[in-house]
């Protein structure tokens, strides 16, 4: 039996869909009763559990062999995910499959890259078997920009740096595969899309799919910060995104495509053009 955390989120939701399609036995965990009701209406076995209240995790973890661990990049992420690992160990869970990040590092200026390094460390030392998935940045992040793209701009501060962007549905596909197979014990997989490309290339592809001229605006850090704050991001998130794009990406520190998605699942990862075609409506609606 697999327990899927983050089942109401992007990757976890897609993992549930793929496990259901494969007929694999799983349970989803969510922290609110209305989320549980919705999951059950969709035919999913669901249990209440809130990672901010570790005492609520025991029931959800009972009878679980494998845990899928993902939470949002928020300040309590280390506390939440280490609580999940500790509860899994207490409940006798055999293996944890965790979403980390390709740039995780305890000395990183990016708070979620630092958090993942600490959590991965905790997991490897926990005594529970593990598989760690380290994806690069998600293509889904471009959905934050539907409004400016509708006006003909892609505003970011990423210089000329490239990213091996991955569609998060491919991350879920890898997760569903390794959750249901043996042979992934103590393995760390770096997951990327099929190509690496910079923001100018991204703007050119956005121009094609939206049929309007989209120009990349390489914002200086103070302007990028203002744009992020005006878009409603917390100071913590804005600082993290600046470190992510203006230091890491602009400094050409992203990894090259790895080929791991195809090696692990037998199918190549989606390219950016097909991601954009699948989300053409979201860009059209914003226009």
Ligand X SMILES: NC(=O)c1ccc[n+]([C@@H]2O[C@H](COP(=O)([O-])OP(=O)(O)OC[C@H]3O[C@@H](n4cnc5c(N)ncnc54)[C@H](OP(=O)(O)O)[C@@H]3O)[C@@H](O)[C@H]2O)c1
Q: Which residues of this protein are in contact with ligand X, per CB under 6 A?
A: 6-12, 31, 50-52, 70-73, 80, 99, 101, 112, 135, 137-138, 141
- Nearest approach, Cβ of 103 to ligand X (angstroms)? 8
Q: Which is nearer to ligand X, 101 or 219 (CB)?
A: 101
Residue 258 CA, chain-centre distance (Å), reads 17
- Nearest approach, Cβ of 180 to ligand X (angstroms)? 19
d(CA 101, CA 141): 14
Quick one: DSSP state of residue 138? B
d(CA 247, CA 188): 25
Quick one: DSSP state of residue 143? G
Q: Which is nearer to ligand X, 112 or 216 (CB)?
A: 112
**CA distance readout (Å), 274 to 45, 167, 208, 279:** 32, 10, 12, 9
Q: Which is nearer to ligand X, 99 or 202 (CB)?
A: 99
The β-bridge relationship of strands 66-69 and 95-99 is parallel
Q: Which is nearer to ligand X, 32 or 252 (CB)?
A: 32
Tokens of 111: 């708070």
Exposure of 167 by Cβ count < 10 A (0-12 exposed, 13-18 middle, 19+ buried)?
A: buried
Q: Which is nearer to ligand X, 84 or 214 (CB)?
A: 84
Q: Which is nearer to ligand X, 21 or 33 (CB)?
A: 33
Q: Which is nearer to ligand X, 70 or 248 (CB)?
A: 70
- Nearest approach, Cβ of 81 to ligand X (angstroms)? 8
d(CA 123, CA 128): 7
Q: Strands, DSSP E only, in 20-99?
A: 26-30, 46-48, 66-69, 95-99
Q: Which position's Cβ is nearest ligand X?
A: 9
- Nearest approach, Cβ of 172 to ligand X (angstroms)? 8
Q: What are the two backbone dihedrals, phi and then psi, of residue 163, each rounded to the nearest 5 degrees? A: -130, 140
Q: What are the two backbone dihedrals, phi and then psi, of residue 10, each rounded to the nearest 5 degrees? A: -65, -65
């Amino acid at each position: 039996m697999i327990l899927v955390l983050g089942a109401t989120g992007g990757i976890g939701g897609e993992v549930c869909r793929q496990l259901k399609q494969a007929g694999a036995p799983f349970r989803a965990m969510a922290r609110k009763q209305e989320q549980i009701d919705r999951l059950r209406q969709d035919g999913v076995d669901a249990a209440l559990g809130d990672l901010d209240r570790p005492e609520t995790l025991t029931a959800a973890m009972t009878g679980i062999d494998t845990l899928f661990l993902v939470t949002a990049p928020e300040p309590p992420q280390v506390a939440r995910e280490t609580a999940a690992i500790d509860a899994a160990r207490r409940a006798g869970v055999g293996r944890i499959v965790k979403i980390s990040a390709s740039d995780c590092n305890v000395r990183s200026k990016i708070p979620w890259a630092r958090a993942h390094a600490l959590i991965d460390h905790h997991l490897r030392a926990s005594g529970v078997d593990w598989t760690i998935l380290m994806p690069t940045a998600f293509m889904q992040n471009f959905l934050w920009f539907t409004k400016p793209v509708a006006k003909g701009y892609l505003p970011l501060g990423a210089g000329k740096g490239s990213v091996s962007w991955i569609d998060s549905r491919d991350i879920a596909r890898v997760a569903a595969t390794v959750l249901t197979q043996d042979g992934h014990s103590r393995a760390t997989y770096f997951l990327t899309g099929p190509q690496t490309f910079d923001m100018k290339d991204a703007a050119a592809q956005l121009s094609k799919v939206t049929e309007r001229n989209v120009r990349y605006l390489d914002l200086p850090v103070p302007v990028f910060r203002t744009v992020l704050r005006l878009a409603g991001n917390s100071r913590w998130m804005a600082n993290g995104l600046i470190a992510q794009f203006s230091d890491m990406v602009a400094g050409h520190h992203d990894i090259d495509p790895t080929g791991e998605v195809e090696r692990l699942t037998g199918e190549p990862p989606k390219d950016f053009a097909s991601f954009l075609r699948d989300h053409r409506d979201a860009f059209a609606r914003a226009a």
